[in-house]
Chains A and B, each alone.
Chain A
Amino acid sequence: MSGGILFWPPAASHHAEQVDLLIGSFGAMTWLLTLPVFVLMAWFTIRYRRSRDVNRDHAPTRNLWVELGWSIIPFILTLGFYVWATMLFLDIYRPPADAVPIHVVAKQWMWKFQHPDGAREINALHVPAGRPVKLIMTSEDVIHSFYVPALRVKQDLVPGRYTSLWFDAEKPGRYPLRCAEFCGTDHSVMGGMLIVMPPQDYAAWLARNRDGGTDGTLAQAGARLFRDLGCSGCHGAASTVKAPPLGGIFGRPVALSSGDTLIADDQYLSDSILLPNKQVVAGYDPIMPTYGNVLRPEQVNALVAYLKSTRASKDSP
Chain B
Amino acid sequence: MAEEERFAPFADAARARDADRLGMLIFLASEIMLFGGIFAAALALRLEHGPDYAAAAGHLKLWLGTANTAILLTSSLMAALAVEAARAGAPRRAARALLAALLLGCAFLAVKGVEYAGEYREGLMPGTATAHFDGPAQTLFMNLYFVGTGLHAVHVTIGILLMAMAALSQRARQDRNAMLIGNVALYWHLVDVVWLFLYPTLYLAGVR
> What residues make up the interface of A, taking CB atoms closer than 8 Å to B?
257-258, 275, 277-278, 280, 286, 290, 292
Q: Is the CB of B50 within 8 A of A275?
A: no
B186 interface residue per 8 A CB criterion: no
The distance in angstroms between the C-alpha atoms of A277 and B50, with both chains bound, is 9
Q: Are B51 and A286 in contact (CB under 8 A)?
A: yes
Contact B136 A280 (CB under 8 A): no
| A278 B52 Cβ-Cβ under 8 A | yes
Main secondary structure of the interface of B (DSSP, over half): helix
Identify B137's interface contact among A257, A275, A280, CB under 8 A.
A275
- Chain B contributes a number of interface residues (CB within 8 A of A) equal to 10
Chain A: CB-nearest residue to B136: A292
Chain B interface (Cβ < 8 Å from any Cβ of A): 48-52, 55, 134-137
Contact B51 A290 (CB under 8 A): no
SS of A interface (majority) = loop
Contact of A258 with B136 in the complex, beta carbons under 8 Å: no
Question: CA separation between A168 and B55, bound complex, in Å?
Answer: 46
| With A275-B135, A292-B136: A258-B49 Cβ-Cβ less than 8 Å | no
Q: Is the pair A275, B51 in contact by a Cβ cutoff of 8 Å?
A: no
Q: Shortest CB–CB separation between residue A4 and chain B, in angstroms?
A: 48
Q: Is the CB of B137 within 8 A of A258?
A: no
**Which residue of chain B has its CB nearest to the CB of A258?**
B50
Give the top 9 A-B pairs by smallest Cβ distance, nearest first. Answer: A277-B52, A277-B135, A277-B51, A290-B135, A278-B49, A258-B50, A280-B51, A286-B51, A292-B136
Knowing A290-B135, A290-B136 touch, does A257 contact B49 (C-beta < 8 A)? no
**Shortest Cβ distance from residue A87 to the other chain B in the assembled complex, whole angstroms:** 29
Look across to chain B and name the residue whose beta carbon is closest to the beta carbon of A276: B135
Instruction: Name the residue in A257, A275, A292 with the highest tally of chain B Cβ atoms < 10 Å from its Cβ.
Output: A275
Q: What are 23 A-to-B residue pairs whose CB atoms are below 8 Å?
A: A257-B51, A258-B50, A258-B51, A275-B49, A275-B135, A275-B136, A275-B137, A277-B49, A277-B51, A277-B52, A277-B55, A277-B134, A277-B135, A278-B48, A278-B49, A278-B50, A278-B51, A278-B52, A278-B137, A280-B51, A290-B135, A290-B136, A292-B136
